[in-house]
Chain A
C-alpha cells in the first residue's frame, strides 16, 4: 500500500483535480457497462413477454410482475435443480478441502521417496485441459454405472490436482520450525496437520472453498454430459432445458437465470477478499 501511495504522490503534479474527476467518470461509466446486463435481466424478469423487446426499451416496467418469480417454480422443477446443485457443490467442496489439505501436508512438510516425481505428476495434469480426457472419464463412469447420477460429478471433481497445489503453496509459507518444535514435543504428524498447519492455513482453505464452490455451482459442461433425467439435473443444465422448451418466454427465462445467480452472488459479497486475493497471490486458473 505504501508503495502505491508514494507512486501516487509522485504522479500528483501531472495528475490534478481535473484528471481525478475524469478518472472517476471513466471508471463509473465502465462500472455501469459492466452491470448493465444484470440490470437488464432484473428489468426483463419483471415484464410481460411482449414487453421485453419493445422499442424504446423501458428500464422500469410499467407494472412490476413479481408473479413471474412464482410462475417459474411451476413451469420447471427449479427446486429440484437447486437441491441437486447444492448437493453436488457441497460434496465436492468438502471433499476437495479435506483431501487436498491432507495430501498437501505430505508434499510441503514431509520427506519421502518419490515426492518430487509425484508432485510433478500432479502439476503435469493441471496443464492437460479437461476437455482432452472428458471422454475417457465418461466411458469409465458409464461402465461403473454412475451415468445420469450426480455421483458422477462428485466423484470426478472431488480430487483435483489444483487444490493440492494451492494448499501446498500456502503450507510452504508456514515456517518449518513450528512443525519441528511440535515434533520434539511429541506431536504426531497427524497432530501437527490438525493442530498447527491447518489452523494457520485458513486463508488458503477459504480461497479453495470459494473457488471450488463457485466453479462447481457454475459448471455447465459436466452436468451437460452426465445428467439426462430432469430429477438429476443441476441448475445450469436445468436453465438450458428451460430455454429450449419455452423459447420465447424471455421474461421467465430471465427470472430463472437471476435466481440461479443469487447464491454465488451472496457468497462473493461475503468472501470476495479471499477470492480476489487468492487469484492475485496464486495467479492460477479457476
Chain B
C-alpha cells in the first residue's frame, strides 16, 4: 500500500494533508479533463433530447424522444439515412475485421519465424499506421483511378476493371476496406507478436514429439493459445471500424450517392453541414450504444479468460 503506516493509524491531519497533496497532483489534468471531456460527454446525452438547429440558444426546445423518432422513422436499410449509414458501417466492419486479422496474424507468424531482418520488416509493416491518413488516402485514390496503377496491375493478371474504384457503386466500399487493411494490419500484427511471445515452447515440443506437422501445430497449439489476443484485437477493431470517418471523407466523400456514407458521416453532416444538433446527438447515442455493447461484452469475457492465461 502506498500511504505511510503512520498515516493509516491516525486518520487525522496527515491523511487530510495527503489528500490535498494528491488533489494538487490531479488538478492540472482533471480541470481540463472535467471541462473538455466529462462535461461534453454529459452534454451530448442531454442534447439528444433537445431541438436546436445551431442558432441562438433561446431557440432551443425540449424534444423528448422526438430526435430518436426522427432517425428511426420508416427505418429501412436501403432508404433512410440511419439505415443506409448503419448498413454501410456494418458491411465495412464485417469484412474489414476478419480480413485484417488474417493478414495481421499471417504477418506476425511469418515474422516470428524469420530471424535476421525481422525487426526491420516489422517496422516496414507498421509504417503505414503512422503515416498520415490524408496523404496515403489521396495516394490510394489516385492509384485506384480508372487508368491508375491498380487497374493496370490487375490487367496484367487478366482482370479488367473499367472504373475508378472510389467512384464505382460496388467497388467504392471495397477500396476503403482494402486501404484500411493495408494501413492497420501492421498495428494488430504488433499485438499478435506480443501474444506469440506468451505461447510456451514446451507445447510445441510436445506437439513435435506427438508427430504433429506445421499445419496441425498452428490449429492445435498456436491458434487456441492466441484466443485472448484474437478476442482483444477483434473487439478493438470492431470499435475502431464503427468510428471510421477520415478515410471515407478523403477517398469517396461518402459517395457515389450514399454508397459509402458511414455512421460518423451522418453525425458530421447533422452537426456541421446542415445543423440539427438534436438529431446529430441522437445518432451519436446510437453509435455510443453499439460501442458500449461491444465494450461490455469484452469486459465480461475478459474476466472469464483470466483463469486460462
Contacts and interface: CB of A to CB of B under 8 A. Distances in A.
A151 B147 CA distance: 43
Contact of A283 (B4, B148, B232, B271): B232
Given A35-B124, A53-B145, A221-B245, A106 B292 contact: no
A260 B264 CA distance: 25
A55 B114 CA distance: 37
Contacts of B2: 108-111, 176, 179
B110 A159 contact: no
Contacts of B18: 110-112, 189
Interface stretch (A3-11, A66-74, A199-207): A3-11
B107 A30 contact: yes
Interface residues of B, number: 103
Contact of A243 (B122, B138, B186, B287): B138
Contacts of B285: 132
Given A40-B143, A57-B152, A136-B40, A129 B291 contact: yes
B138 A10 contact: no
A254 interface: yes
Given A103-B29, A131-B287, A23 B110 contact: yes
A129 B284 CA distance: 9
Given A31-B125, A111-B2, A180-B4, A127 B292 contact: yes
Nearest to B30: A103
Given A129-B243, A261-B131, A103 B113 contact: no
Contacts of B134: 218, 220, 236, 239-240, 257, 260
Given A7-B204, A110-B21, A159-B33, A26 B110 contact: yes
A195 to B, nearest CB: 15
Interface string A251-277: 001100110110011001100100110
A7 B140 contact: no
Given A125-B38, A127-B292, A106 B127 contact: no
Interface stretch (B64-72, B80-88, B167-175, B192-200): B192-200
A276 B3 CA distance: 35
A180 B2 CA distance: 8
Contact of A133 (B31, B37, B143): B37
B47 A275 contact: no
A136 B43 contact: yes
Interface in B191-232: 191, 193-194, 196-197, 199-201, 204-205, 208, 213-214, 217, 232
A14 B194 contact: no
A interface secondary structure, majority:
helix
B interface secondary structure, majority:
helix
B225 to A, nearest CB: 11
Contact of B29 (A38, A135, A164): A164
Nearest to B46: A136
Given A30-B125, A99-B28, A257-B138, A23 B114 contact: yes
B12 interface: no
Interface in B18-38: 18-19, 21-23, 25-26, 28-33, 36-38
Contacts, number: 291
Interface string B263-281: 0100100011000010011
A257 B287 contact: no
A110 B3 CA distance: 6
Given A15-B113, A27-B121, A155 B32 contact: yes
Interface string B146-189: 01110010000000000000000000000000000010001100
B33 A11 contact: no
A193 interface: yes
Contacts of A57: 149, 152
B288 A254 contact: no
Nearest to B142: A250
Interface of B: 1-4, 7, 18-19, 21-23, 25-26, 28-33, 36-41, 43-44, 47, 107, 110-115, 117, 121-136, 138-140, 142-143, 145, 147-149, 152, 182, 186-187, 190-191, 193-194, 196-197, 199-201, 204-205, 208, 213-214, 217, 232, 236, 239-240, 242-243, 245-246, 249-250, 264, 267, 271-272, 277, 280-281, 284-285, 287-288, 291-292, 295
**Closest A-B pairs by Cβ, 4 of them:** A159-B32, A257-B135, A103-B29, A136-B43
13 contacts: A4-B197, A13-B208, A40-B149, A102-B26, A103-B25, A135-B271, A135-B277, A214-B130, A220-B246, A264-B131, A268-B130, A283-B194, A285-B240
